[in-house]
Amino acid sequence: MCSWAKGVFIALLWGTAATALASPVPEGVETLGRPATDTEVIAWDIDVRPDFLGLPPGSGDVWQGEETWLAQCASCHGDFGDSNEIFAPLVLGNITEDDIETGRVAALQDSAVTRTTLMKVATLSTLWDYIFRAMPWNAPKSLTHDEVYGLVAYLLNLGYVVEDDFVLSDSNIAATQALMPNRNGMSREHGLWSVQGEPDVRGSSCVRDCDVGDGCYFFPARLRDECARQSCRAGPRLGALPRVVDCAKQ
Amino acid sequence: MGTEADQGHLQLAPESFLSTDLINEIQREGIDSGRRTLIRGAIAAATAAIAVPSVRAADDPDIVNLPSWTRSLGKPVVANPYGQPSPFEANIVRRQSPGLTRTDQSSVSFTPLQNLFGMITPSGLHFERHHQGWVDIDPRRHRLMINGLVKTPLVFTMEELLRMPSVSRIHFLECGANTGLEWGNVAVPTVQYTHGMLSASEFTGVPVSLLLERAGIDRQRAKVLLAEGADGSSMTRTINLENALDDALVAYGQNGEMLRPENGYPLRLVVPGVQGVSWVKWLRRLEVGDEPWATKDEAAHYVDMMPDGTHRQYTSIQEAKSVITAPSGGQKLLKHGYYSVTGLAWSGRGTVEKVEVSVDGGRNWRPARVEGPVLPKALTRFQYDWVWQGEETLLQSRVTDSTGYAQPSRAELIGVRGTRSIYHNNAIQTWRVGSDGEVHNVQLG
């Protein structure tokens, strides 16, 4: 199912807003706030949309990307973006040619497979935007535009989406986005975007002799025992002090 | 050991919930399937005897022997220039779930719902979710920019925002991942961890609609807003303009004072009914646009995975949900007799219409008392009179909101959405009260 068939859905949910009434501006309030200068807007307006509005020009290749990666990213994400130490793996090399062909990552249906960033993200703009604004995590906004192009190229290369000699630039980024392995994996067909949206699940309103299946319940023993042990430590008092029970003796 | 009066009738939930050993194991082995098996699998034999009240004297010594505080001079004013909770409440704090995240800066701390009253969360107990740590911003150096599809891009200082006409409104704030650990199976024992990414505050600020009007919003083309933070993560989220023009605020006030730094001081977005991640903290910019941005937290996370592997993108609204906060998991009923079962209900689409409680795992439902004021997109407190005679009980609550939507059971919810979504789990919660009075998190079916 291709969920980017925008027609009806977008007309319905993304098109109506501007007709709503905005608050009138009381007299005198127009003196509060001043026009932003162009330089100020450029300094802060760094977002890049999926249609690449906002993307600064530049380029970077896989090799440059690897160099920056090893110097500035690998300590947290691993040499190949596969580390699970600081954050979930970004890439694990489990994307197939078939996925790139169909734009749906098949392994997402397998709950045993670790879900990586590259398996999920449908838009390349997301990676460019996020790396530029927030990475490296401990020194955000320190990368140059070209470094970001290189890093995105390197991540795509780790996921077998592009070859080793690939150069990513503002002129081929849209074509490259069209190779994203999970580009068709997102859906906007749901009622959770708008307050007026239609719920997909509704509870029963039964009040007497309702069907509750076999009535069995799942109750993990390990947690139960931890509770008992630690309640002992907290003691049964209303407040935190004093501890009335000596847990060590139990 | 104290008298029976000291013991009360309800033993509090434990301070933390996993042993150091188990925390270490989780940190080694991760939180996914490994952790689930771990928690399901091992059965330790430890039991802890509960303190037995000592023989009661005829006279209560706490009445007969006047305590020190009745026979001494108290402390002066301004001993605490900023008031603090009683030292006897030192256990009532936000807690981090061990093993949930790998760092403390991209992490969560949970609100102790089991110990709170009414419909407002004390600001110091408001849950935390940060993606790149929290920051202390000098308000004199903070600016709000409005740009994009507007006639004039504008810059406001905090001083100017504080001079504008303001509104104050009470709203709940729930993380889209609240109860997210419970999709697959019972994962955490107390309501602090199952539902504690939830809070409610009175927020004060300037309506977004007023600011957009002031900037001259392009009504023909505008469809969405981008909100962006001033912290290192510069968190960005696409906001439905319909919500923004209806009741969103650029807020600086929380419960009558300025926002707490962990909650976005000096400025945050408030988008009533919408999941917490969209309430961008340390807000520096609003951009009016005509297409959504697919930012990291709406393209890699906060996307709801369906059984066929599709991700629902831009899921935002928090649908109606309720939970019993006492008696709740980890607590223990120490006496037979009367209990006021109490909890919270809320809906991102409107007001709470009714709350029902079941003591038999959902077979039969009876109405709970809903406490006023019942406000739109706010927490609503409910109570239910219950006499416990030691029988095993499965406690549940179910809310119906002003749109007629009834909170689904777990079976109804996972029947449509599967178990791998992480986000927007609003299923009915079940607490099992054992004949020993212990209350535990269980899942039916």
Q: In CATH, what class is A46-177? A: mainly alpha
CB of B54 within 8 Å of a chain A CB? The answer is no
Q: Is residue B50 scored above 70 in pLDDT?
A: no
| pTM: predicted TM-score of the whole model, two decimal places | 0.89
Q: Which amino acid is at A20?
A: A
Q: By CA distance, what is A237's nearest residue in B?
A: B7
Residues of A in contact with B364 (CB under 8 A): 207-210
Of B6, B156, B319, the CB nearest to A32: B156
State how far the alpha carbon of A239 is from the alpha carbons of A115, A228, B89, B440, in Å. Answer: 43, 18, 5, 22
As a whole-number percent, the residues of chain A with pLDDT over 70 amount to 78
Q: In CATH, what class is B95-312? A: alpha beta
CB of A39 within 8 Å of a chain B CB? The answer is no
Residues of B in contact with A209 (CB under 8 A): 363-364
Contact state of A210 with B13 under an 8 Å Cβ cutoff = no
- The residue with tokens 């197939």 is A96
Q: By CA distance, what is B146's nearest residue in A?
A: A36
Q: Domain ranges in chain B? A: 95-312
State how far the alpha carbon of B193 is from the alpha carbons of B110, B182, B413, in Å. Answer: 6, 10, 20
Q: Minimal CA–CA distance to B270: which of B195, B189, B208, B359?
A: B208
- Residue B31 is predicted with a pLDDT of 40
DSSP symbols for B366-388: EEPEEPSP--TTS-EEEEEEEEE
Of B32, B289, B317, the CB nearest to A192: B317
Nearest chain B Cα distance for residue A183, angstroms: 11
d(CA B434, CA B390): 8
Q: By CA distance, what is B23's nearest residue in A?
A: A226
Enter the tokens of residue A46. Answer: 């760094």
Enter the tokens of residue A10. Answer: 């977008």
Mean pLDDT of all residues belonging to chain B: 89
Nearest chain B Cα distance for residue A89, angstroms: 12
Q: Is residue A139 scored above 70 in pLDDT?
A: yes
Q: Is residue B349 scored above 50 in pLDDT?
A: yes
Residues of B in contact with A194 (CB under 8 A): 240, 242-243, 317
Nearest chain A Cα distance for residue B199, angstroms: 20
Residues 165-224 of A with CB under 8 A from B: 185-197, 199-210, 212-224
Contact state of B42 with A41 under an 8 Å Cβ cutoff = no
Residues 56-85 of B with CB under 8 A from A: none
Q: By CA distance, what is A220's nearest residue in B?
A: B40
CB of A113 within 8 Å of a chain B CB? The answer is no
Question: How many whole angstroms from its chain centre is CA A162?
Answer: 22
- Residue B396 is predicted with a pLDDT of 97
| B335 burial type by CB count under 10 A (0-12 exposed, 13-18 middle, 19+ buried) | middle
ipTM above 0.85, yes or no: yes
Contact state of A239 with B424 under an 8 Å Cβ cutoff = no
Mean pLDDT of all residues belonging to chain A: 84
Q: By CA distance, what is A221's nearest residue in B?
A: B43
CB of B165 within 8 Å of a chain A CB? The answer is yes
Q: Directed axis angle between helix A221-234 and helix B33-41, to 10°?
A: 70
Interval A163-208: pLDDT, tens: 999 999 999 999 999 999 999 999 999 999 999 999 999 999 999 9
Lowest-confidence segment of A127-136, A211-220, B96-105, B238-247 by average pLDDT = A211-220
Enter the tokens of residue A28. Answer: 């005198």
- Residue B12 is predicted with a pLDDT of 66
Residues 383-412 of B with CB under 8 A from A: 394, 398, 400, 405-409, 411-412
Torsion angle of C-alpha atoms B144, B147, B149, B152, degrees rounded to 10: 100
Q: Minimal CA–CA distance to B110: which of B99, B132, B126, B123?
A: B126
CB of B93 within 8 Å of a chain A CB? The answer is no
Q: By CA distance, what is A83's nearest residue in B?
A: B102
Q: Which amino acid is at B107?
A: S
In the structure, what pLDDT confidence band is assigned to residue B230 with cuts at 50, 70 and 90? very high
CB of B98 within 8 Å of a chain A CB? The answer is no
Contact state of A84 with B411 under an 8 Å Cβ cutoff = no
Chains A and B: how many Cβ contacts under 8 Å? 402
As a whole-number percent, the residues of chain B with pLDDT over 90 amount to 79
Q: How many CB atoms lie within 10 A of CB B108?
A: 21
Q: Is residue B183 scored above 60 in pLDDT?
A: yes
Residues of B in contact with A244 (CB under 8 A): 1-2, 6, 51
CB of A17 within 8 Å of a chain B CB? The answer is yes
Contact state of A221 with B44 under an 8 Å Cβ cutoff = yes
As a whole-number percent, the residues of chain B with pLDDT over 70 amount to 87
Q: Minimal CA–CA distance to B243: which of B171, B349, B137?
A: B349
Q: Domain ranges in chain A? A: 46-177, 215-249
d(CA B134, CA B341): 36
Nearest chain A Cα distance for residue B100, angstroms: 11
Contact state of B291 with A51 under an 8 Å Cβ cutoff = yes
- Residue A222 is predicted with a pLDDT of 64
d(CA A202, CA A205): 9
- The residue with tokens 């004021």 is B373
Of B164, B233, B332, the CB nearest to A134: B233
In the structure, what pLDDT confidence band is assigned to residue A239 with cuts at 50, 70 and 90? very low
Residues 89-108 of A with CB under 8 A from B: 104-106, 108
Interval B263-285: pLDDT, tens: 999 999 999 999 999 999 999 99
Beta strands B107-110 and B95-96 are: antiparallel
Interval A4-55: pLDDT, tens: 333 334 434 544 444 455 567 899 999 999 999 999 999 999 999 999 999 9
Residues of B in contact with A187 (CB under 8 A): 306, 310-313
d(CA B43, CA A94): 36
Contact state of B293 with A49 under an 8 Å Cβ cutoff = yes
Of B7, B163, B189, the CB nearest to A236: B7
Residues of A in contact with B5 (CB under 8 A): none
In the structure, what pLDDT confidence band is assigned to residue A212 with cuts at 50, 70 and 90? confident
Q: By CA distance, what is B408's nearest residue in A?
A: A203
- Residue A223 is predicted with a pLDDT of 63
Beta partners for B442? B430
